[in-house]
Structure 1
C-alpha cells in the first residue's frame, strides 16, 4: 500500500519543522513518542528516554525563542557540539525554527589533542560561527583548555575564544513561550540555507555542503514515498545524527509522523547485538545501516547471548547504504537471520550522498525479494529507473554520463552518475570553483537543468533499468571487507592496507594473507596490487558511521603514521607462484617509504 498523501486534510509543508506543530496539536499525536533514546547495558537495553511530539514541539519553540535574543540575529551561524541524544535533536530543530544556520558536528574528545581536533579547526575556520552550543560540562572543559594554554599562537585556542558559548542546560532549563501560530512561521524559509552538512570524508577531506530547508524537505518526502513510511512506522537507528543518513532520518521521522528509536554509534560498535535487540523490543519496521554492518553483526552479533531473544519479524525495510553493495554479504546476513524472522523482502539496497541532502534512490519495492534482484559484478542494484517508462514523473532524475564528454551513455555502459532534483544542495561553502564543477553539471548539446556530478560510477541494466553503483574513480578500488583500504601510492603502484582483527604473530600466516589479498583483487577487479600492508587494529581510519577514509589512510601510510606489522611488495605481473613478500618492519611505526616506490 502506498501511504504518500495518506491524509488529504494534512498537506505537505514547505519545511520539515512546520510538520512538528501540526502533529503536536493533533490529539492522537500529542503523547505519541517522536524519538526514544535507548541506553545499552552489558547484556541488554537497560534504559530509555522518550520525547513525545508535544514535548519536542514545546522544547523546540522554547529553544528557538531564546536563540532569537541578543546577541543573535537571524541567519547567524551556530556550531552544535552536542553528544548523540535527544538534546541534539531538540537543538537541531530549535536552530531551524529560530532562523539560524546550524553546523552539527561530533564533539571532539576533551583532551583536544591535535589528532582529535583537525575537523573542529576546519569547521570553525570555514564556517566562522558566532556561537557554539554544547553541554555545560563540555564548555567547562573547553574553558579549562583555553586557560591552560600559555601560548597565544595556538590556532584552536584563538578560535574557541572568539565564540559565544551556550549551554544546553540553560536552553532546556529556561522555559520560554511555547505558543506558535500555525499561520505564521519565522524559521528558515524554503530557499534559505539552514544547515551546513559536512561530507563523511570517506573519499576526500570533508567538505561543507550548503543545505536549504526546501531541499531537505523535498528529499525526505521522496524517501518517505520510496520506503512507504507512515505514522505507524517504527524506525531504529544508531547512525551519527550529525550528517547524512543519521540526520536525514531525524527529519524523515517528523515528515512521516513516525517513531524513531535512537542509540549512539559507539554503543552499536561496542555491542552489535544492541541493534538487533532494539528491532526486537520496539518491533521496528525500518532501519538504515551501512553495508559493513551486515558482516559485523554476523561475526560479532552474539546471537545466542543476551537476555532478549532476537525477533526480526516486524522488519519491513532493512535499508542498506554505502555503495557498492555486494550480494554475497547480504545473502550471508539473510541466511543467518532468516530463522529469527528476517524477511528477504525487507532488504532495501539504497544510494545517497550529502550533495543531494542524502537520499537518492532504492531498488526496493513492496513485495520485492532480494533473491529476485539482478546481479552485476556481484553487486545488488541501488535504484530502478523505470518510472518514465510507466508514465510516472521522476522525483529525482538519474543519468549515467561519460564524464569526459558530458554525454549520456546507453544502458549497459558504465559512466559517472549525475543527479538532478529539488533535493540538490546549493554548493560548498567558500569553494566557488568546486561548486561550479560538482553542482552545475550540464549535458552536452542539451538544454537541461543543472546536475550534481557525484563522482560515483554506475551502470544501468535490464528492462526495469536497475542502477548498479560500481565504485568511485579509477584511483580507488572497492573491497568487500570493512577493514581494507586500497589506493594509488605511486603512478603505477596500487597499495592495499589491511587491518588485523586479532593478534597474529606467525609471519607465515601474515604472508599467506597478503598473497591472498593480492590474488583476490586481481580476480575480482583485474588490478595488479604492488603492495600489501598489514597494520594493527584501529590503524585504518574510519568516519563516525564506519566508512573507510581512504584519503586519510593513504596520508597516514605515506607519512609513516601507521603501526605496520608486515609490508609486502610485488613486482609487476608477478605470478602467484613467484610472489616474494618482505617483512620491512614488525610491530613498529613504519617510517616513510615514498622514495622506495
Structure 2
C-alpha cells in the first residue's frame, strides 16, 4: 500500500512531467506502471523507473533525426512499446499521430492514407518487421498508397531503445508545453469520416486529472484495459495511469474479442479496482464469459470499484443483466460507473458514479445517467441547448449537449470553418465563454438530484412524417429484440431513406430458407409499431460498418447499401405497411412470422 501519497501533490502542466517524479520516489520507482498480458503467455511489466528511463532514451534518439514540433505517425502494434513511444514523443516535443497499423499488402489502407494526407508527418515509427512489409509493398506496387509511403522517413522501433544519448548530465526538458499540440487523435467516425482533433498537452493533463478525481484513482488503484491504445479512452488511460501513479494491466482488443473471459481473468488475477468497457461488450461477455466452464482461473470480481461503461446509448437493462450474471463472483452493483466522453474534449467529460453513491442509479426511458450535474467541477460547464436557436433549454427538455472546459481541444486540423462552428460556439445572449458542440443529444432530469442522460446523436435522428423525432438506437433495439436468437446483438442499423425508415440487420448464423428470412423481416417490421418502415434488409455477419470502439456507422451503412456493397441475404420492401415478399402459396403458414413462432 502506498499510504504516503499526498493528495495535495502539485499538479503538473503536462502528463509526461509526472513520470520522472514517480520514477525518483523510493516508494514508486520499482512499482509496476504497466503490465502487458498475452493470452497463454507470460506477462511483461515495466516499472515507473524503467518507463522513465526508456522514454528518456527514446526521446533523445528521436531528437537526433527530428525537430521539435514535427509530426510523427506511430504505427506500432498494441503493447508496452507503443506506451513508451507515445510518452517519448511527448517528451521530445513531437506531435504524435497513433494509427492502427493496417496489414500489407491486403489490409484496408484508407485511414492510413487519410492520416498521411491530413497530418503530413515527417516520419513514421513502426517495428522492423512492419517496415519490411511496407518496403516490399512499395517495391511491388505503384499506386497512391505506395507513393505516399515512399515519402516518409521510416524509423524502426527496436532501434530507438538503448543507452541514453548524451554525457549523463540532466538535459533541459524540451517536451511539449501545456499550450502546444502533442497529439492528433481521430474521431471515431460514427457520424462521418474520422476527423483529426488537435489535442494540447495541457488540455490532456487537465482531462486526466478531472477523470482521476471523478473515479477516485490513486497509486493503490489497478486499472485493467483491453481498449485500443490509439485514441480516446484507450489512450487516455495510459495518461491517467501515470498521472495517478497507478498500475495499468493491458491486453489487445483482438485478445478480448477472441476470448472475452480474458478480461475477467485479468481483473481477478491483478485485483483490478478500475476497468473501462464499451456498453456493447457487456452482452458479449454475458454470452461468452464461460461462467459455467472451467477457465484458467476462478473468477473473483469483488476488487472492482469502478466498472466504467462507455459508448452511448447506455441502456440500463444490459447493465443489470451483466451485474446479475457476475454478482455471484463478487461484482458489486455500486461499481457501475456510466460515463460520457468525446474526442473533442480529449476524452473524458463526466460520470454518474460517485464514491459511496450506493447501488442504484436512476433510469430514464431505459437509459443510465452519464453525469451527476450538481457534482461537475466548477471550471467545467455543461448545458443542454436548442440546436436551432442556441438558447439553453430547461430541465426535462432534450437538446444538444455543449461543454466548456479547460479540456476542450483546439479544433480539427485543416477544417477552420468546422472548427470555429464546433469549438467556439456561443450561447444566445451569453458572450462570457465559448463551448464545444458535442453533436450529442441529451436531457437533464431533476428529481432529488439532477442527472444527464445522453439520448443519441443529433445527425442520426430520424424525423417521421408526423414530426416525431426518433433516435435510431431505439429502432435498432426493438428490431433485435424481435428475433434475438437469429440476429447479432449490436449489429442492427436504422436510418432514413426516401422518406421511410430502412433497417439493416446481421444474421448470427447462415439461414438459407427464404420463408424464415421473410419471417425475420416481418417480425422486425411488426416490432416497430407507429414507425413507417419502408425496407428491411437481412445481411451476412460482419456487413455493417463499425468504428474501432464498436459503434454502428449508420451513414456508412446507408452508403454501402445504396451502392450495392452489402452482403445482402434477403431484402423486403413494405408499402403502406404491406409485406411485399412473394412466398409459395402451398405454405401451411399464413405468414412468415407465423413460421418463426412455430420454430
Tell me if the contact between 1:62 and 1:177 (Cα under 8 Å) persists in the aligned partners. no
SS in 2 for 1:40: coil
Alignment of 1:449 onto 2:449: no
Alignment of 1:275 onto 2:271: no
Deviation at residue 571 of structure 1 after TM alignment: 1.9
- Structure 2 distance, partners of 1:101, 1:435, is 19
- Structure 1 distance, partners of 2:99, 2:168, is 30
Q: Which residue of structure 1 lines up, in the alignment, with residue 51 of structure 2? A: 56
Structure 1 length normalisation: TM-score? 0.90
- Structure 1 distance, partners of 2:145, 2:254, is 26
- Structure 2 distance, partners of 1:197, 1:303, is 37
Q: Map residues 393-432 of structure 1 onto 2, 5 A cutoff.
A: 393-432=377-416
Q: Which residue of structure 2 lines up, in the alignment, with residue 375 of structure 1? A: 363
Q: Which residue of structure 2 lines up, in the alignment, with residue 16 of structure 1? A: 15
- Structure 2 distance, partners of 1:8, 1:382, is 26
Q: Which residue of structure 2 lines up, in the alignment, with residue 589 of structure 1? A: none
Deviation at residue 302 of structure 1 after TM alignment: 1.5
- Structure 2 distance, partners of 1:582, 1:354, is 47
Deviation at residue 534 of structure 1 after TM alignment: 1.1
Alignment of 1:467 onto 2:475: no
Tell me if the contact between 1:416 and 1:455 (Cα under 8 Å) persists in the aligned partners. yes
Indicate which of 73, 81, 92 corresponds to 2:86. Answer: 92
Q: Which residue of structure 1 lines up, in the alignment, with residue 208 of structure 2? A: 220
**Structure 1 residues 264 and 328: CA distance shift in structure 2, 3 A:** same
SS in 1 for 2:544: coil
Q: Which residue of structure 2 lines up, in the alignment, with residue 486 of structure 1? A: 494
Gaps of 5+ in 2: 463-470, 478-488, 584-599
Indicate which of 288, 304, 314 corresponds to 1:325. Answer: 314
**Structure 1 residues 335 and 94: CA distance shift in structure 2, 3 A:** same
Tell me if the contact between 1:78 and 1:103 (Cα under 8 Å) persists in the aligned partners. yes
Indicate which of 551, 555, 560 corresponds to 1:551. Answer: 555
- Structure 2 distance, partners of 1:202, 1:106, is 17
Q: Which residue of structure 2 lines up, in the alignment, with residue 516 of structure 1? A: 523
> Which stretches of structure 1, 4 residues or more, deviate above 6 A after TM superposition?
none
Deviation at residue 561 of structure 1 after TM alignment: 1.1
Deviation at residue 311 of structure 1 after TM alignment: 1.0
- Structure 2 distance, partners of 1:413, 1:581, is 41
Alignment of 1:235 onto 2:223: yes
Q: Map residues 251-330 of structure 1 onto 2, 5 A cutoff.
A: 251-305=239-293, 306-330=295-319
Deviation at residue 529 of structure 1 after TM alignment: 2.4
SS in 2 for 1:36: strand
Tell me if the contact between 1:347 and 1:369 (Cα under 8 Å) persists in the aligned partners. no
- Structure 2 distance, partners of 1:571, 1:340, is 51
What is the CA deviation profile of residues 42-64 of structure 1, one whole-angstrom value per residue up to 9, with x for unaligned ones?
A: xxxx3210011011000000010
- Structure 2 distance, partners of 1:503, 1:302, is 24
**Structure 1 residues 145 and 531: CA distance shift in structure 2, 3 A:** same
Tell me if the contact between 1:58 and 1:178 (Cα under 8 Å) persists in the aligned partners. no
**Structure 1 residues 262 and 582: CA distance shift in structure 2, 3 A:** farther
Tell me if the contact between 1:229 and 1:256 (Cα under 8 Å) persists in the aligned partners. yes
Gaps of 5+ in 1: 584-597
SS in 1 for 2:433: coil
Q: Which residue of structure 1 lines up, in the alignment, with residue 468 of structure 2? A: none
Tell me if the contact between 2:221 and 2:246 (Cα under 8 Å) persists in the aligned partners. yes
Tell me if the contact between 2:5 and 2:219 (Cα under 8 Å) persists in the aligned partners. no
- Structure 2 distance, partners of 1:242, 1:406, is 34
Q: Which residue of structure 1 lines up, in the alignment, with residue 238 of structure 2? A: 250
SS in 1 for 2:43: strand
- Structure 2 distance, partners of 1:521, 1:237, is 37
Deviation at residue 368 of structure 1 after TM alignment: 2.5
**Structure 1 residues 180 and 6: CA distance shift in structure 2, 3 A:** farther
Deviation at residue 521 of structure 1 after TM alignment: 4.1
Structure 2 length normalisation: TM-score? 0.90
What is the CA deviation profile of residues 265-289 of structure 1, one whole-angstrom value per residue up to 9, with x for unaligned ones?
A: 0110011111111111111110001
Alignment of 1:139 onto 2:147: no
- Structure 2 distance, partners of 1:339, 1:278, is 17
SS in 1 for 2:33: strand
Which sits farther off after the overlay, 512-521 or 449-458?
512-521
Q: Which residue of structure 1 lines up, in the alignment, with residue 70 of structure 2? A: 76
Deviation at residue 509 of structure 1 after TM alignment: 2.8
What is the CA deviation profile of residues 419-452 of structure 1, one whole-angstrom value per residue up to 9, with x for unaligned ones?
A: 1100000000000011011111100011221101
SS in 2 for 1:47: coil
Deviation at residue 180 of structure 1 after TM alignment: 7.8
Q: Which residue of structure 1 lines up, in the alignment, with residue 348 of structure 2? A: 359
Q: Which residue of structure 1 lines up, in the alignment, with residue 423 of structure 2? A: 439
What is the CA deviation profile of residues 238-282 of structure 1, one whole-angstrom value per residue up to 9, with x for unaligned ones?
A: 000000000000000001000010000011001111111111111
Q: Which residue of structure 2 lines up, in the alignment, with residue 126 of structure 1? A: 118
Which sits farther off after the overlay, 104-113 or 94-103?
104-113
- Structure 1 distance, partners of 2:396, 2:196, is 34
- Structure 2 distance, partners of 1:582, 1:546, is 36
Q: Which residue of structure 1 lines up, in the alignment, with residue 571 of structure 2? A: 567
- Structure 1 distance, partners of 2:582, 2:17, is 62
- Structure 2 distance, partners of 1:89, 1:450, is 33
What is the CA deviation profile of residues 211-231 of structure 1, one whole-angstrom value per residue up to 9, with x for unaligned ones?
A: 000000000000000000000
Q: Which residue of structure 1 lines up, in the alignment, with residue 165 of structure 2? A: 176
